[in-house]
Structures are given as structure tokens and as C-alpha cells.
Amino acid sequence: MKHSQERNFDDFHLVLATLICLSASSWLSAGESPHLNITTPLPPPAWAVMERALLDANAEACRQFYGKYFDERGYLLCVERWGGDDGPDDAIENCNDWPILHALGAHDDVLTLYRKALEGHFRQYTESKTVDVPFARDGMYYKEFPVMFDWLHNGEGTTVFNLQGLSDPNNDNFRQRVRRFAGFYMNEDPQAPNYDPEHKIIRSLFNGSRGPLLRKATGLDWAGDPIEVKGRFKPRHGEDTYEQMVEHFKDYNDVVGDHPSNLLATSLAMNAFMLTGEVKYRDWLLEYVDAWNQRIADNDGIIPTNIGLDGTIGGETDGKWYGGVYGWGFTVYDPGSGEMANRSTFQQGFVGFMNAYLLTGGDDRYVDGWRKQSDIVNSHSKTVDGQTLYPTKYGDDGWYAYGPSPYAPNALEMYYLTMDARDRKWLGSNSWLDYLEGKNPDFPLQALHGDFASIRQRHQLMLEDTTTPDTRLADDPMPMNPASVRSLIPLMLGGIHPGHKGSIIHCRVRYFDPIRRRAGVPDDVAALVEKLSKDSMTLTLVNTNQVESREVLIQSGGYGEHQFVSVNADGVSTPVDSRLLKVRLAPGSGQQLQLDMQRYTNDPTMILPWDR
């Protein structure tokens, strides 16, 4: 019945298009997804030419970067170390944004290289062992995952992996790892009892494939084994000696119990649900996020940063809700600068709430707690010399660490999810949002110029880099990683950069090449998202090739979580009712489309369109 209705639907609009002599677009039969034919001539705009050139420039720069810093096995050419100064997470971060780059439409070499680097990475850091750090003596990775560390670092280390499914969900190794990694947090592996289902906690800030660390952490646990420093390495925290590296972490002790940054682990279950469709992954994710939502309510609207093993707020930090490593009150001495430093990571836990929001059809309760928290914190502002200052930290003496900007972590992410005006207030001026609101017309070209400059500058740094593998730490090549997608994510996808914390991507649309059966726009196709609202978007598609047509599949949402309702082309609005829209672009054609949509109405999936 469905197929019959779709055929009647397509035939009707083909007749309609013929009767009104639409030269720009018409609807054609396209099986499971509606099909739009664009024929309006459009000389390639500057932004379209620049997008295509930027994809190519990224790919070439990545090839050269890989050739310098990786060997034929995919191993990073560096001194392998464990720790928060430099460790396994830093090694694979050298391929940050490569999965997104390929999923945008860059050359298949990008997929081939980051896949090779990822496979090499798992082998390299399974073989790498500590001598003094007790829990990594049999390998820094076990079962291809960090043995136990905090999610500031675990999140960084899973960034590339968690985005591999954008282009490569059928990879056998990826599919096995997705299940295995999620299982570490669902008590499916008896060697990794990280989760307490009774109290709904991850039992330590340090957790991983060998389970939680249920004692106070030491500077050694964080800093890694002794190493020669001065004259050989330049640790990015600014230390000159190994002793300073240990001193940096000497107060990083209170790790027992749960912490909001553990919410980053929900992206593992999110990927497993999107890959398999098995509800156990969704159920665990929502159970864990719901528990944290309740803790916010129980703590008078502020997310606590330590939950004891008995489930009580502050249970491992003398009842202090603000206690613990990376907590609200975590201010420690930094030997690199010689000053006290305010360090917190609990804001990253919003990633878990974003995952829950996507899975529940945009349930507002997953943002409302964080929304109210910002209001509460900012209500403790004070005026000094006529200037309003806002707190960012809380300790034994109350609120502190005041600054001129309102407290608003995750403000962009929150507004992006809700598109609610009340969530716009803490953002102030934002060049991309200003563009979408019609106030910054030069943004596309300026943003693209910025990414070209980034590639050029990073490539030059690489050429000037004189380190050798035995004087190079894992994070040393990171500033030279050329992948530059900061402009392409908002411009092409209408999305926000996921950061380097193991998050999935949140975007309004994504593209697939139905001819080559791969993620990303086909050769010669460019896309520009010009407006976004709660229930619509304006998108211009261009075929820069003047002699060959191109076909592209547009997906509503990064993982098909949205639904196209209708499309308006040349003033004609036509129902769609699908998460996919197939578009054929005649040679040298282009057109602006208004796409009406319902957001967060579908279960997200990373299965490729032709495999569904």
C-alpha cells in the first residue's frame, strides 16, 4: 500500500510539473525516497567553488600529514606514554575531524588513512605498557580500549572512533567495537564492572576496560612513568621536569564515585543503538541520564560533581556536592605557570543530555535543568566598579572565579537543540547565528577563508617541524593536523562542531552519493544552509560541473532523526514525508530550496540509506 501511494504521489506531481511548465524542478518516481530534478542554470557562486576547493585542499594536506607522522602500520611515530600530560588519547587525536571531513565529501583517501591510523592506534597502545603505573603494566589499552582513565581523556581518545560510523558503519571491526565498548558500561564484561545499576552510577572518575579505580588517584597515575623532559620534550602543560609533571597532578586525588564527565560514555551506547537498533542501549543511556537529571533537581538546580558509591550527593567528598577532581571547587596549583588554576570538566556532561534529547523526540526536560542552572549561577553576579561579574566556581566559601561574561556553558548546543529564543539570550553575538538571522551576509566567505588559512598555516608548521620520533610526544603533531571543517559543518550541514570529546554530530542535514554509495556530497556538488528555524531550513544546492549531471541524497538530520515534511522549489510546495530526498542536478544547475521538517521524530540510525 505504501509503494502504491508513493507512485501515485510521484505521478501526480510529475503531471502537475508538466502542466505548469516548471523549468527549474520536477518530481520523478524514485522508489523509496522522493526525487527532485533541478535544471535551473546557476553559475557557481564563490562559496560553492570554495567549498569544493576546500574539500580537496583538506584531503591533500591530510595525505602529507599522514606521510610524515605515521608509519606503514598506522603507528604514530612518537614516544608512547601513559598519562594526562601525554597519552593514548593524544595519539589518535592527530586524526581529529578526519571522519567528518570524509563524511562531508572529501576524497576516499581520507577514510582509508584514518581507518589505517585507527587500526594502528589500537595495536600500538595495546603493545605499549607502563612500568610504574600499576593498572597499565599489561598494556595501556585492553580489549582495544583505555584500561581506566577519566572521560576528559577517554572522550578525546574516542572522538575519531565515535564518528567513524558517519562513513564506515559496515566495517566489521567498527561493528564489533561499538558493541564491546558500550558493554563496558552496561556490565556486559565481568572484567569491567564500571556501572552500579542499583544506584545508577559509574563508580569512579577513572574507568575503562579493566573497570573503575576505587582508591584515591596519585600523581603517578595521572602523569605516567618517569621520563626525561628538558632538552628532549616540550610537555604542553609547560613543565620542564618529570617532577613538575607529577606535581601538576598531586591534588588530583578524589576520583572515587560518579562525576558528570562520565556522561560522555553515553555516546558509546548511542552509537550502539544507532548501529544495531537494540533498545537495551537506549534504555541504559536514558536510565543513566535520568539519574543525573534527578541529581540536579535534588541539589537545588545545580549538577553535583561527586556522587558517592552509596548514591548520595558528595558521598566520597565529605558531603560536598562541589567536590572531587574536576568538580565545581577544583582549583589547584599549576607548576607550569606557577599560579593557581581553575579546572572543571563537568560541563562536558551535557553531551549525555544531548544524546537523550535526540533519543526522546526533543524532550525539553533534558535541557531545562541546564537552562535553569545557568540562571541560578548568574543570579549570584555582583557589580564591581560599575561592571557586572559572574561566578564560574563554587567552593567552601561559596561562589568564586568571577568574570565579565555570563556563566553559560553549552549555550550554543542548547540553543541549537531547542531553537528556543529563551536559550539564545546567553549567547550574545555569534557570527554564524547572525548570518542565519540575516545580519551577517559575509559569513560564508569569511568562514571558508579562515579554513583555507588554517590548512596553510598548519601545513607550514609541519614543514618546519624538526622533531624526530624519539623526541616527539603523541600530542606534538596535533597543532599540525590540517583537517579544517569548522566552516563546512555549519555551511553545508547546518550543524555544530561536536568538539573533541567523543560526541556524535548534531546537524540539520547530511549528504550521500547514491551512485558511488558513500557518505558526502558527490564530486562537483556544493551546499549552503542559509536559514534555520524550529521547523524549516533554507538550502541551496549547486552542481559546479558544466557538462555532467550529479545526484545527491539529502538526509534529514545527521542520523535521519528528523523528517522532511515538504519542499518548496520555485514557489511550488510539495509534500515529502520522508527522512530522505533524492536530488538530480543538471549540468551547471543550482537552486534554493525551503525544506519544512519535523525534528527528532525518527529513531536515529547510522545505517547507510541503501542498506536500510
Contacts of 473 (CB under 8 A, 6+ apart): 78, 79, 81, 86, 90, 233, 234, 235
- Local structure of residue 415 (DSSP, 8 states): H
- How high is the pLDDT of residue 232? 94
In the chain, which residues have pLDDT < 50? 1-31
Percent of the chain exceeding pLDDT 90 equals: 92
Going from the C-alpha of 345 to that of each of 231, 303, 328, the distances in angstroms are: 32, 12, 9
- How high is the pLDDT of residue 32? 58
At 42, list the grid cell: 546557476
Phi, psi of 124 (to 5 degrees): -60, -45
- How high is the pLDDT of residue 426? 84
**338 CB burial (10 A radius; 0-12, 13-18, 19+):** exposed
Comparing C-alpha atoms, which of 547, 531, 557 is closest to residue 585? 547
- How high is the pLDDT of residue 549? 98
- How high is the pLDDT of residue 18? 33
| Residue pair 484/455 in contact by the 8 Å Cβ criterion | yes
- How high is the pLDDT of residue 607? 98
Q: What is the Rg, in whole angstroms, of the alpha carbon atoms belonging to the chain?
A: 25
Q: What's the pTM value of the predicted model, to 2 decimals?
A: 0.94
- How high is the pLDDT of residue 238? 83
Q: Which secondary structure element, helix H or strand E, spans residue 543, and what is its range?
A: strand 536-543
* Residues 21-59: tens digit of each pLDDT: 333 333 333 345 789 999 999 999 999 999 999 999 999
| Residue pair 457/73 in contact by the 8 Å Cβ criterion | no
Comparing C-alpha atoms, which of 610, 555, 553, 608 is closest to residue 582? 553
* Residues 390-408: tens digit of each pLDDT: 999 999 999 999 999 999 9
Q: Which phi-psi region, left, alpha or beta, contains residue 4 (left: φ > 0; alpha: ψ -120 to 50)?
A: alpha
Domains of the chain: 48-378+408-435+443-480 (1.50.10)
- How high is the pLDDT of residue 341? 95
